[in-house]
Structure 1
Amino acid sequence: MPIDTFAKLALSPILLVQALQVRKRALILPEPPGPRCGKLGQGPTLRLLILGDSSAAGVGASHQSLALSGQLAQTLGQRVALTWQLEAETGATSASALKHLQSLPGEPFDIAIVALGVNDVTHQVPLSRFLSRRRAIHDHLRNHLETRHIISSGLPPMGHFPLLPQPLRWTLGRTATRFDAALAQLCSNNPDTTHLPLNLPFEPRYVAADGFHPSEPAYAQWAQMLDRTLPQRF
């Protein structure tokens, strides 16, 4: 039994109280305004899909131009003729994202960036079910949206989230690390899939006001990490 699973069983009354307290006092930040699709740049064409949860949706930024999709689009638009589309929602799990993905028109994409997993951890989704749904997401991207390459962004370091008290922080952090390692292994089995560890600095300026989401500087760092990954694939 993984140590975080054992801790959840042993500390379940404490963890439940802490989880309820976090929900009660948490600062609820909105998804920022701004475009969620667009075209810009010149050169070789690149069709990009970003699929994810509140972090992909830019919670913690004041505008989409300062969130992940906007900053990445501006960077890529300097080199390619980019068509990009953001499909992300606060609270999305791998299961709900898969359902949403299956409802999209069959428009093809060259690259899909998937940023999911935090809500699977907080909803205590079993690892086997998490991996099954991620496989289904990858299969749908390949087989129905003709996606040439999938970049699976790693789970964030939840063990460093200021919003979470101990031992809830430690427990969720260990679970997120375990899920991310399994996700990396899943991606390593397919040449058209890359796992990108989300190695953001553990500094206050990289955390939004809610103590949970990335800040605008963190989104800039994340976009740069993704940008450095793309040339290796195309």
Structure 2
Amino acid sequence: MLRAARARRIAAATAFGGGGLTLVGGGTVALLYLQARLAKNAIGHTPWDRPRADGVFGEGTGPPLRLLMLGDSTAAGFAVSESRQTPGALLASGLSAAADRPVRLRCTASPGATSADLDSQVERSEARLPEKRYDVAVVFVGANDVIRRIRPNDAVAALREVTAELVGLGTPVVVATCPDLGTVRPIGWPLRSVARRASRQLAAAQTIAVTEAGGRTVSLSDVLADDFRSDPHLMFGPDRFHPSARGYAQAAFVVLPSACAALGLLPELDEAERTEGVLPLDRAAVVAAQTPGTEVTRVSDQPPSGVHGRWTALVRGPFRLGSGARPTPPEPPEEEDAPRPTPGGAREHRTG
């Protein structure tokens, strides 16, 4: 059972430099690592001619909004063949539609990245330069921290630091927390349950750290699990490990409302219905880790008072259509229907 106190201890250790925390026992982690390595060997190496997704998407009035994508293979859209199928391109297109403005995308995410790699990704993006400030940054990270046995307090500390820095620079941050690795088929039982527990505990700790640093989080959890089980050939990519274009579209769909909210665009989504509530941050983190699509943000910018003071958090339930039906993710664009790309792979924006 995932407990708030467990997530709180991990997040607290990152804030005060504590060490030695682990998500699961050392022997179990070693077995998990071994089985993950065996799964990786079974999957094999998938060659990928990465499309360049950077560019301007959408149309509208005003200068382009600036979107920064950071993180691992999910943020990069590993194994898709068209730049328009990457999560960054899908989010840029969605933000453009909501804002009625073009969106300029910069993606420095890379497959295999851990939370420790985020700092160098920010450096490559030039986000620290005042003239290059981004309007919003979206981060997908955490899975490789679990697989590579990165100490959770180290992983969360790196994420906290980058989030706080970007927020301090005036860039809102949306973090899609660690996905549920228990849905990965090549990892067998009983270690699949260990992977699920480790990834959800990391996701909860990420939620606490990011929210305290001024960002907002969205839980991926097992958001794709049902679809992957019912139609794995459609939802998995060619390596049977990463999502397909349709899987990435589902992930982008879950994150899009929070990215809109970070830009002050959520009221534009008139058809949206999201349940809300206020909880202590550690409890909110556990709820989010177990409920895909849940967003967590700070209620107030004022820090808690007292020795035992805790942040309170606004918890928004998953986005759903007004009818109450499960939302259908946007279809990844087909080549024959897609707009003509620029040399960078994105839709060209013309003025005048």
Alignment TM class, shorter chain as reference = 0.7 to 0.9
Q: 1:69 is matched with which residue?
A: 88
One-letter identity of the residue aligned with 1:181: A
Mark the CA change 1:162 to 1:28 in structure 2 (over 3 Å): closer, same or farther.
Answer: same
Across the aligned residues of Structure 1 and Structure 2, the Cα RMSD in angstroms comes to 2.4
**Structure-to-structure mapping, 1:81-230, within 5 angstroms:** 81-105=102-126, 106=129, 107-143=132-168, 146-190=169-213, 192-199=214-221, 200-202=223-225, 203=227, 204=232, 205-230=234-259
Q: More displaced, 14-23 or 124-133?
A: 14-23
Structure 1, residues 164-217: CA drift from partner, whole Å, max 9, x if none? 122332222211100001111123324x41101115231223332323212111
Structure 1 ranges of 4+ moved more than 3 A: 1-4, 14-17, 30-33
1:9 and 2:27 correspond? yes
Aligned counterpart for 2:55 among listed residues 38, 55, 59: 38
Q: Count the aligned residue pairs.
A: 229
Counterpart of 2:74 in 1: which secondary structure? coil
Per mean C-alpha deviation after superposition, the further-off stretch among 79-88 and 223-232 is 223-232
CA distance in 2, matches of 1:11, 1:95: 20
User: Unaligned 5+ residue runs, structure 2?
Assistant: 1-5, 7-20, 265-352
Which one-letter code corresponds to 2:157 in the other structure? S
Report which of the two structures shows the higher radius of gyration computed on alpha carbons.
Answer: 2
Q: When you count helix as a share of all residues, which structure comes out higher?
A: 1
Quick check: 1:49–1:85 contact (8 Å CA) kept in 2?
A: yes
- TM-score, reference length from structure 2: 0.59
Q: CA deviation at 1:157?
A: 1.2
Residue by residue over 1:105-135, the C-alpha shift from the partner in whole angstroms, topping out at 9 and shown as x without a partner, is: 2221010001111111111111111111011
User: Are 2:43 and 1:26 equivalent residues in the alignment?
Assistant: yes
Question: What is the rounded CA distance, in whole Å, between the counterparts of 1:11 and 1:47 in structure 2?
Answer: 40
Amino acid at match of 1:42: G
Q: With structure 1 as the length reference, what TM-score do the two structures score?
A: 0.86
Q: CA deviation at 1:16?
A: 5.1
> What are structure 1's unaligned runs of at least 5 residues?
none
